[in-house]
A and B are shown apart, each in its own frame.
Chain A
Amino acid sequence: MRATDISAPDYFHKVVDCQWACPAHTPVPEYIRLIAEGRYSDAYMINWKSNVFPGILGRTCDRPCEPACRRGRVEESPVAICRLKRVAADFKDDVSQRMPRPGPRNGWRIALVGGGPASLTVARDLAPLGYHCTVFDGDAKPGGMVRSQIPKFRLPDSVIDEETGYVLSLGVEFKAGHRIDSLKKLLAENYDAVFIGSGAPRGRELNIPGRKEATGNIHLGIDWLSSVSFGHTDKIGKRVIVLGGGNTAMDCCRTARRLGGEDVKVIVRSGFEEMKASPWEKEDALHEDIPILNYLVPVAFNHDNGKLTGVTFQKVKPEYDADGQRSLVPSGEPDETYPCDDVLVAVGQENAFPWIEADCGVDFDKRHMPKVDPTTFASTNPKVFFGGDAAFGPKNIIWAVAQGHEAALSIHRLLSGEDITERPLPEVHVSSQKMGIHEWSYDNDISAEKRFKVPHRDKVVALKDIRTEVELGYDVKLALGEAHRCLNCDVQTVFSNTLCIECDACADICPMDCITFTENGEEADLRSRLKAPSVHPDQDLYVSSDLKTGRVMVKDEDVCLHCGLCAERCPTGAWDMQKYFIETTHAGNACPSKRRSAA
């Protein structure tokens, strides 16, 4: 193998699995260390810069970071990254003075359609640079689906108000109750760029017999949740069936339990494991005495002269073809009917752009989705950008934020006269953590603690009031314990082949047997000769240039604890622990491309 090029920013970025997995590339270990130090406001600001909504995401994020967390490969559970983010938000001081100020106006005007996380991210990035950002939203308050669809017992309004407030106080204009019904008209107002972050606002229908007749008791999940959020709906029948297995279904069933639903069931086509809902959301539903029934496909709504009486299901079973593709086939057992008073349909969301006229220059594909460049988020109209659910269909908040950043960068480059397809490299800070012979400026003593549970409010109390937040969040002590579980994967093991004397000290001390000194070879061959077997081939090998004896140092990054013992036991300083702080490029901190290309 060729020697690893550690100067390529992606190499060490990938070692920080959580940050690499996060769509917004939040510097996770950095903020977790700050939490451990009790510097909650600093931790919050790192998050705020990267993901804009730490308090919201700390309660609702889909956590792509956690399955990626190295700790999950070393022991049972990853670090509770998401809930530590909430800790930063919960315990921070007043951070309003740390927020950027609206920049001197640069004369450019940006229209943002929809007041959800994607648009607000774009506004957050552009407003401090002097752009005049106008956000249009049909609702009275900003937040989009974050406000309308996430139940208040998971995310209180106060958190949404605070974090959308930080964005609006950057001099962003918010046009409440102003739904855009024509892109053509908007374009005619001569904005310099338009960003469309209008989400995926339409719940998917379930057209089976009885749907029309019993419509009074059949509700589309996301519409029903909005209506509950805004106080238009405050009760539901005693027996409720929720159809669907995603996070919206989990929100529906838990909301129904709080509005008078006593016998609430979730009924899903797929098996329990394959359900789209996050495992912890399923767990929370089960904890609130909501059974989840699997492998049942709804075939008819039963009604008595338009009054819903129940739902009939066909029983199915999974079958796998030669490629491991699953299909659900009828099991042959008799259909089952479950009686109920109301049904909530949460079988998916769809995009809808009836307000974008065909002659706006925005092309759509066969699936009626806008043609959007996945890097620049530009549509076929060079002035119109998309982001969030509006761009590529329903995903999670953190994706909307990440896409918002990219779109903001594109808009900034477009209006600065630069090529939007050229994406500036991230900013990387490298600093040795060495303080003394055996002292490091990070805590390298690995905690053996198991993942700490987040305390929940008593179920009886929680179910009484739909606005009572269920999760209480970590207290300071639990947060400290959980923060210590982080392996500091951003503190990298950096090797120098010219200093190495091949004494084997690092290979001997390494608790995870990551380091091997051996003859070089092709990757597959090298992987077969490591001191400990290579369990995850997707994890990189760090290969040095040739050493004096002609061998190379090979480090399997997979389960490195970043304990720094290799560097402590190295007599020549050939190993060093260096912190890689990687910040993805935002519209604000991007270098102009000319200077970058000269470098």
Chain B
Amino acid sequence: MTYIAKPKFQHPGIKKNALGYSHRDYEGKISTLCAGCGHDSITASIIEACFELSIEPHRVAKISGIGCSSKTPDYFLGNSHGFNTVHGRMPSVLTGANLANRELIYLGVSGDGDSASIGFGQFAHAIRRGVNMTYIVENNGVYGLTKGQFSATADRGSKSKKGVTNTDNPIDLVGIALQLGATYVARSFSGDKKQLVPIIEGAIRHKGAAFIDVISPCIAFNNHAGSTKSFDYVREHNDAVNRLDVLTGRDPIEIDQDPGTVQIVEQHDGSRLALRKLDADYDPHDRLGAMTFLQKHAAQGQIVTGLLYVDPEADDLHSHLNTVERPLNRLEAADLCPGQSVLDRINASLR
């Protein structure tokens, strides 16, 4: 870890967003993760996405569990709400918080241990319920904090740093999320911010359960030859199906390539996703097709990245439950208790 605080000086020509903030205003404390950790790049991508979307930091709740990944909310959005929960319990706490106050932007940050092992059930149910959130898994395939044992997402056949081969089958969180009905599903790579940042932006603007699996090499324990989650391996096997641009407001759509290959997806809140297709046959609106495509390519050893599925008409847990528009935590006794006369009337009707 670094001992000095990051200097407060900023580049004199630094870009400001609509709120007058620079991306530095979305930072948190200095990272205590190992130098070069993929998670730090994801942190930088979240910072960039929130800066680009001109999000007010106080309107964000960042919730995480336990692990290297779950430490990262300390390193971004220093002025946002945060909850560092028990191991694997981020989805439940996030669901509860979301039910209590639907007005905040919910950012769930988890890792492969936190979501695919101890919190696997929690992950499944939050997705299944369609909680309006951005659920990011910082996926490195190992337990970094306990010195690099294989996690549940480690590929069968991949080698540990000590040379042991993994014999268990991996859990593909993207596949599960698709199966459980997530309405915005993406996979990306910490080493490719150009792809990752717009995917996070799209997820934040998405209404419903948005799930992003980010392959994030563990520099200390999983970046060697034989690993399937190393920088080199992911770069060699990355099969990006599309590239995304998130358009907010009335920005004109600038298309710098063959228009036939660009697909515009309009989301609930009016934001538009410009999807530049890299794989002409890939249809991000076809859930079943996506699942098949993923399985096929995984079998060939390829890592499919991009926005894999999006349902622009999605809704969320609050619409399923038909809750009131006002956040539940702001309902007063007068709103919740109809009063004696109403009770009397009900009682009378039952006599």
Contacts and interface: CB of A to CB of B under 8 A. Distances in A.
Nearest to B6: A511
A565 interface: yes
Contacts of A75: 9
B11 interface: yes
A513 B223 CA distance: 26
A502 interface: yes
Interface string A543-583: 00000110000000001010101001111100000000000
A563 B191 contact: no
B217 A512 contact: no
B35 interface: yes
B2 A508 contact: no
A571 B9 contact: no
A501 B232 CA distance: 8
A428 interface: no
B219 interface: yes
B100 to A, nearest CB: 34
B34 interface: yes
A411 B1 CA distance: 55
B12 interface: yes
Nearest to B193: A504
Interface stretch (B38-46, B127-135, B251-259): B38-46
B36 A512 contact: no
Interface string B13-44: 11100000000100000110011111011011
A476 interface: no
Nearest to B12: A535
Nearest to B7: A446
Interface residues of B, number: 36
Nearest to B43: A508
B219 A571 contact: yes
Q: Give the most central of A73, A446, A569, A572: most B CB within 10 Å.
A: A569
Interface string B311-346: 000000000000000000000000000000000000
Given A504-B41, A504-B193, A509 B6 contact: yes
A415 interface: no
Q: Give the most central of A445, A502, A513, A563: most B CB within 10 Å.
A: A513
Contacts of B37: 503, 505, 571
Given A503-B191, A504-B193, A561 B9 contact: yes
B4 interface: yes
Contacts of A563: 4, 7
B211 interface: no
Contact of B13 (A507, A509, A535, A569): A535
A533 B13 contact: yes
A532 B219 contact: no
B11 A503 contact: no
B235 interface: yes
Contacts of B162: none
9 contacts: A446-B4, A448-B7, A501-B223, A503-B41, A511-B8, A533-B11, A533-B13, A569-B31, A571-B36
A563 B2 CA distance: 11
B9 A511 contact: yes
Query: Interface on chain A toward B: helix, strand, loop, or mixed SS?
Result: loop
Contacts of B217: 503
A444 B4 contact: yes
Contacts of A329: none
B40 A448 contact: no
Contacts of A568: 2, 35
B231 interface: yes
A511 B10 CA distance: 6
Interface residues of A, number: 35
A3 interface: no
Interface of A: 73-75, 437-438, 444-446, 448, 501-505, 507-509, 511-514, 532-533, 535, 548-549, 559, 561, 563, 565, 568-572
Interface string B156-169: 00000000000000
Contacts of A502: 191, 231
Contact of B231 (A501, A507, A535, A561): A501
B11 A513 contact: yes
A169 B324 CA distance: 93
Contacts of B34: 571
Contact of B36 (A446, A501, A561): A501
Contacts of B2: 438, 509, 565, 568-569
Which 3 pairs across A and B sit closest by C-beta, in order of nearness? Answer: A571-B36, A508-B44, A446-B7
B35 A532 contact: no
A532 B11 contact: yes
A509 B6 CA distance: 8
A579 B41 CA distance: 29
Contacts of B6: 509, 511, 565
Given A503-B191, A503-B217, 15 more contacts: A73-B12, A438-B3, A448-B8, A503-B219, A504-B191, A508-B41, A509-B30, A511-B9, A513-B11, A559-B12, A561-B9, A565-B4, A568-B35, A569-B40, A570-B36
Q: Give the most central of B13, B15, B24, B191: most A CB within 10 Å.
A: B13
Nearest to B11: A532
A444 B8 CA distance: 13
A507 B190 CA distance: 13
A532 B37 CA distance: 23
Contacts of A438: 1-3
Contacts of A571: 34-37, 219
A549 B235 contact: yes
Contacts of A437: 35
Nearest to A509: B6
A446 B7 CA distance: 6
A511 B7 contact: yes
A572 B36 contact: yes
Interface string B192-222: 0100000000000000000000000101000
B11 A505 contact: no
Contacts of B190: 503-504
Interface string B62-97: 000000000000000000000000000000000000
A501 B11 CA distance: 26
A74 B40 contact: no
A69 to B, nearest CB: 14
A470 B190 CA distance: 60
A505 B191 CA distance: 10
A446 B2 CA distance: 14
B36 A505 contact: yes
A422 to B, nearest CB: 42
Contacts of B11: 512-514, 532-533, 535, 559
Nearest to B1: A438
Contacts of B44: 504, 507-508
A241 B24 CA distance: 54
Contacts of B12: 73-74, 535, 559
A524 to B, nearest CB: 16
A438 to B, nearest CB: 5
Nearest to B14: A532
B40 A532 contact: no
A457 B285 CA distance: 78
Nearest to B47: A508
Nearest to B24: A511
A505 B40 contact: yes
Contacts of B5: 445
Nearest to A532: B11
Contacts of B7: 446, 448, 511, 561, 563
A513 B219 CA distance: 23
Contacts of B223: 501
A514 to B, nearest CB: 8
Nearest to A564: B4
Given A438-B3, A549-B235, A505 B35 contact: yes
Nearest to A549: B235
A561 B4 CA distance: 13
